[in-house]
């Protein structure tokens, strides 16, 4: 081999190694993350490529889905404080949605929902999955599903619209079904692309995030936090956005007044994904039953926005404020991480997935000494 070429290749290899090391250092450097007083964040586990949705097993296993990687992981905490990442499935088609029930892990691929029985007893050698349903729409645009079991023990599934904006039957809704896949029905419609929902701990009302349409400008439409107080409500897509913005293409067909407006308008193009009602006892009492939302961040805005966790304050079942809770994954126009989903652990701490860095963070709270209470 030509000596100069060999030196060039060696230099390239060295530079790649340096860049990879710097990237690894930057993803674990959380010094730029801003939290309220008393809160802290650390990397709970790394090496979880494209980490997306989170679910908790009965024995403490944290299950992690992916969207692009086609894998589902299990994270197991060891007695010595370390954590083991186990791949329990691979080669799946956009396995974004996961839910745990009755010792089984449910996984929503683009086109079907499958179930792994007795999964926590067989993490290293899972049994063949059982197909719950294979009748989901197959379009890949917004084809990553989000699933969760509701208080009625039914499985709720978000079916995103296969487009930026369009009229199409069989999508742009949230459906529900029995755990065995039977009795499927539309629960809520007019929903462009929900990738996160939860039920109010007192009223059992379904609340969900929704991503607004693109290509209407930097500042419209807003992202949405919605609540379905009864079944079969319509939330406006594709005719109306944000409760009061007619769509340029479809807005003449129906009035915004026909639809349910958002419970809370969120930032424009922040891409709100996973959400929870915080019910733990670790955080201060003012966070009890409040909404926390992982904002994945904008992709086509001239100045980026999102890349954070937001807090929607709830009073008497209605939002009364929208503010930033944890910030810092966006530094200027540089994106250092993309929050996806939130999971509350039994001790009241929060896990947050980051699909850009393949990390899961843990957010904790310790009462400051100057509050007059011993830590």
Q: What's the average model confidence in pLDDT over 271-284?
A: 98
289 or 17: whose pLDDT is higher? 289
Does residue 66 contact residue 95 with C-beta atoms inside 8 Å? yes
Domains of the chain listed by start with CATH number: 30-366 (2.120.10.30)
For residues 37-55, one letter each, b for 16 or more C-beta atoms within 10 angstroms of the residue's C-beta and e for the rest, the string is eebebeebbbebbbbbbbb
CA atoms of 369 and 54, how far apart (whole Å): 33
CA atoms of 131 and 133, how far apart (whole Å): 6
Phi and psi for 183 in degrees, rounded to 5?
55, 50
167: left (phi over 0), alpha (psi -120 to 50) or beta: beta
Strand 83-89: give its sheet, edge to edge.
54-56, 62-64, 72-77, 83-89
Q: Residue 372 pLDDT > 70, yes or no? A: no
Summarize pLDDT for 253-269 with one digit per residue, the tens.
Answer: 999 999 999 999 999 99
Summarize pLDDT for 20-71 with one digit per residue, the tens.
Answer: 333 333 456 899 999 999 999 999 999 999 999 999 999 999 999 999 999 9
Phi and psi for 104 in degrees, rounded to 5?
-130, 145
Q: Residue 291 pLDDT > 80, yes or no? A: yes
Cα angle 178, 183, 184 (rounded to 5 degrees) comes to 90
Beta strand 233-234 with 185-189: parallel, antiparallel or unpaired? parallel
Please give the torsion angle defined by the CA atoms of residues 106, 107, 112 and 115, in that order, rounded to the nearest 10 degrees: -40
Q: What's the average model confidence in pLDDT over 107-120?
A: 98
CA atoms of 30 and 336, how far apart (whole Å): 10
- Mean pLDDT, the chain, rounded, equals 92
Peptide bond into 221 cis (omega under 30): yes
CA atoms of 84 and 73, how far apart (whole Å): 10
pLDDT at residue 254, as a whole number: 98
Which H helix or E strand runs over 334?
Answer: strand 334-335
Instruction: Tell me the pLDDT band of 87, cut-offs 50, 70 and 90.
Output: very high
Q: What's the average model confidence in pLDDT over 189-205?
A: 98
CA atoms of 213 and 201, how far apart (whole Å): 30
């Amino acid at each position: 081999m030509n000596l100069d070429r060999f030196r060039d290749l060696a230099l390239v290899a060295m530079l790649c190694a340096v860049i990879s090391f710097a990237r690894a250092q930057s993803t674990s450097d959380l010094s730029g993350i801003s939290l309220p007083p008393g809160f802290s964040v650390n990397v709970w586990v790394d090496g979880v490529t494209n980490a997306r949705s989170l679910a908790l097993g009965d024995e403490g296993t944290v299950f992690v889905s992916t969207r692009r990687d086609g894998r589902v992981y299990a994270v197991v905490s060891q007695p010595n404080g370390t954590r083991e990442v186990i791949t329990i499935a691979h080669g799946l088609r956009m396995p974004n949605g996961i839910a745990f029930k009755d010792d089984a892990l449910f996984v929503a691929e683009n086109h079907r929902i499958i179930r792994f029985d007795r999964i926590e007893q067989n993490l290293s050698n899972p049994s063949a999955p059982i197909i719950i349903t294979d009748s989901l729409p197959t379009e890949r645009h917004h084809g990553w599903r989000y699933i969760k079991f509701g208080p009625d023990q039914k499985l709720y599934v978000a079916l995103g619209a296969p487009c930026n904006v369009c009229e199409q039957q069989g999508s742009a809704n949230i459906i529900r079904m029995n755990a065995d896949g039977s009795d499927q029905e539309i629960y809520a419609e007019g929903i462009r692309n929900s990738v996160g929902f939860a039920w109010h701990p007192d009223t059992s009302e379904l609340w969900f995030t929704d991503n607004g349409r693109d290509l209407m400008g930097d500042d419209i439409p807003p992202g949405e936090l919605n609540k379905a107080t009864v079944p079969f409500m319509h939330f406006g897509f594709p005719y109306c956005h944000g409760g009061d913005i007619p769509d340029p293409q479809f807005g003449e067909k129906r009035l915004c007044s026909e639809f349910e407006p958002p419970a809370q308008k969120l930032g424009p193009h922040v891409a709100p994904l996973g959400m929870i009602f915080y019910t733990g006892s670790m955080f201060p009492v003012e966070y009890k039953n409040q909404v926390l939302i992982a904002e994945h961040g904008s992709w086509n805005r001239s100045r980026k926005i999102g890349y954070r966790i937001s807090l929607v304050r709830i009073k008497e079942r209605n939002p009364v404020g929208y503010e930033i809770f944890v910030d810092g994954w966006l530094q200027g126009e540089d994106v250092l991480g993309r929050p996806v989903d939130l999971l509350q652990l039994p001790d009241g701490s929060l896990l947050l997935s980051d699909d850009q860095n393949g990390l899961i963070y843990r957010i904790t709270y310790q009462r400051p000494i100057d509050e007059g209470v011993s830590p």
